Amino acid sequence: MGDRPISTIFSVGTELTEGTILNTHFRFLGAELKGLGFFTRKAVQIPDDPDIFREELREALRASGLVIVTGGLGPTSDDLTRETIAEVCAAPLRFDQAIWDDLVQRYAARGRSIAQTNRKQAQIPSGFSVLNNRVGSAPGFCGVDGACTVMALPGPPAELEEMFLREALPLLQTRFFSSRGAAVEMVATAIMIPESVLEQALQEARGSDAAPRWSTRVAEDRIVWTLRGSPRRRQRRVYSALLKRFGPLRIREGDVQPSFLPYRILSQRRETVAVAESCTGGLISKLLTDIPGSSRVLWGTFVTYSNESKIRLLGVPGEMLQGAGAVSQEVVSAMSQGLLEHTPADLALAVTGIAGPEGGSREKPVGTVWISARYRRGAHLCQRFHFPGNREAVRRRTAVAAFILAECALLGTDGQLEY
C-alpha cells in the first residue's frame, strides 16, 4: 500500500448482482489504476437500490482519495447513479444545455428523435465537469467531495474503456501523480509468454526502483502491458531488458495482435495465404477472418482433420501418414507443399499436432505440434513445439505460433521461436 493513493470502485446494476451479465470493469479499472499507482481497497457490485448505494458511497468517500462509479447512467428509472452522487456529495443536479444539444444531435444523426426521458442524461451534479462519451450517449462526470475525487463512467464496457483512457486517465495523472512524470507511458505486447513469467521479468528489469509501474491486460492471444510513472529512458531500459530476454518475436512495441502480423504484410503486398489446419480445426482461419476485410488476404483454408482429407485434398502420401505419422515434419511439410500446388496463394501455412486430451504417446505427447510456413518466392520455415496446457490452450498457442512463423517466412527472417 505504502504512500499510494487509495481507490474504491463501484459497479451499479441489479443485472450484475443477479449474475445476468459478467462484470469486466473491475479487471479493466483495477489494472489501469494499479498501473497509475493507486491501491484499490475494494471493488463493489451493488444492485439498483439507492439505500445500499448511499451507505456504501458515504463510507467510500471517507476512506478513499478516488471513487469511481460505473453504470446506472441510463435514462430509465432504475438508473440512480446521478441522483445518489448528487445527494451524497451535496451537489444538486443541474441541467447542462451543451450535453442536451449534443444528445439531440447524435440521435438526429442516426435518424431518430430523442425522448424527453433522455433529458435526465443531460443532468450532472453542480460543480462537476463532463467526461465526454464518444461511443455511446450517456456522458460521464467528475468532481470533488472533500478530499475525494469522484467519477461516474457509463456501464457498457466499450464506452467505459474509451472514456476512461481518453478523458479520465489524463485527469487522474495530473491530479494524483503530476510530480512523478506519470504522463509518459509506453505500451508493449508480450506474445507466448506466461503471465507469471512476464510479471517476474518486469520486476527483475525494474530492480529496486519504484518506477516504472505497469498494468497488464491479458487477452487470449497476448498480454498488453503499459509502463508508466517514470522518465521515458527508464521505461525504455525495462523494455530493452525484456526484448533481450525474450527476443523480438515475442516482445513488440505497441498493442500487437498476432493474427495482424502476417495480415498486415500480405495486405500491403496484395498477396494471399492458404492454410491447412489439422489440430487447430479452423481456429487459425477464424482468427484471421475476425479481421474485417480479411477476404482480400485469405485465399482459403483446408481443415484436414482426418488422414483421408490430408491425402485427398492436399496430396499427402498415404505411406507417409502410415510411416512418419500425421504429426511429423514430413507430413506438415507435405501439407504446405500441397497448398502451394493446389492453390495460387503466395504463402502456405500448415499445422498438425496433438491437442489432446487423447492421442498422445511417449514419443509424441499431447502438445506436440509441427508448423510449416512456406513462402512461394522465399523461405520455408518448419518447427516443432511442445505446448503445455489443455486442448484449448494447445490449440490457441499453435495458432499464435503459426502467425509468428508466417510473419517470419514473409519477411525472410529466421523463425526459430523459443517457447
User: For residues 173-232, which are near its own copies according to CB under 8 A?
Assistant: 195, 199, 215-218
> Does residue 370 touch its own copies according to CB under 8 A?
no
Nearest distance in Å: CB 42, its own copies = 5
Q: Beta-carbon neighbour count of residue 152 at 10 Å?
A: 27
From the list 31-39, 83-91, 117-125, 164-172, the region that binds its own copies by CB under 8 A is 31-39
What is the three-class DSSP state of 95?
Answer: strand
From candidates 113, 254, 293, 418, binder to its own copies by CB under 8 A: 293
> Does residue 393 touch its own copies according to CB under 8 A?
no
Q: Which three cell numbers stand for residue 2?
A: 505504502
From the list 20-28, 94-102, 115-123, 149-157, the region that binds its own copies by CB under 8 A is 20-28
Query: Is the separation of the CB atoms in 410 and 375 below 8 Å?
Result: yes
> Does residue 33 touch its own copies according to CB under 8 A?
yes
> Does residue 286 touch its own copies according to CB under 8 A?
yes
Three-class secondary structure assignment of 323-338: HCCCCCHHHHHHHHHH
> Does residue 411 touch its own copies according to CB under 8 A?
no
Query: Is the separation of the CB atoms in 99 and 183 below 8 Å?
Result: no
Nearest distance in Å: CB 51, its own copies = 10
Nearest distance in Å: CB 47, its own copies = 7
From the list 229-237, 291-299, 317-325, 375-383, the region that binds its own copies by CB under 8 A is 291-299
> Does residue 40 touch its own copies according to CB under 8 A?
yes
Q: Provide CB contacts within 8 A for 374, sequence distance 6+.
A: 336, 337, 339, 340, 347, 348, 349, 350, 380, 381, 409
Q: Beta-carbon neighbour count of residue 177 at 10 Å?
A: 18
Nearest distance in Å: CB 134, its own copies = 17
Query: Omega of the bond prior to 357 within 30 degrees of 0, cis?
Result: yes
> Does residue 306 touch its own copies according to CB under 8 A?
yes
Of 74, 14, 94, the residue nearest 50 (C-alpha): 14
> Does residue 2 touch its own copies according to CB under 8 A?
no
> Does residue 298 touch its own copies according to CB under 8 A?
yes
> Does residue 23 touch its own copies according to CB under 8 A?
yes
* 60 HSE (CA, 13 A, CB side): 25
> Does residue 308 touch its own copies according to CB under 8 A?
yes
DSSP string, 12-38: E-HHHHTTSS---HHHHHHHHHHHHT-
Residues 107-166 within binding reach of its own copies (CB under 8 A):
none
> Does residue 372 touch its own copies according to CB under 8 A?
no
Q: Which three cell numbers stand for residue 232?
A: 521515458
Nearest distance in Å: CB 128, its own copies = 25
- Beta strand ranges found along 204-267 (DSSP E): 213-218, 223-228, 251-253
Binding map of its own copies across residues 44-63, x = CB under 8 A, - = no contact: xxxx-x--x---x-------
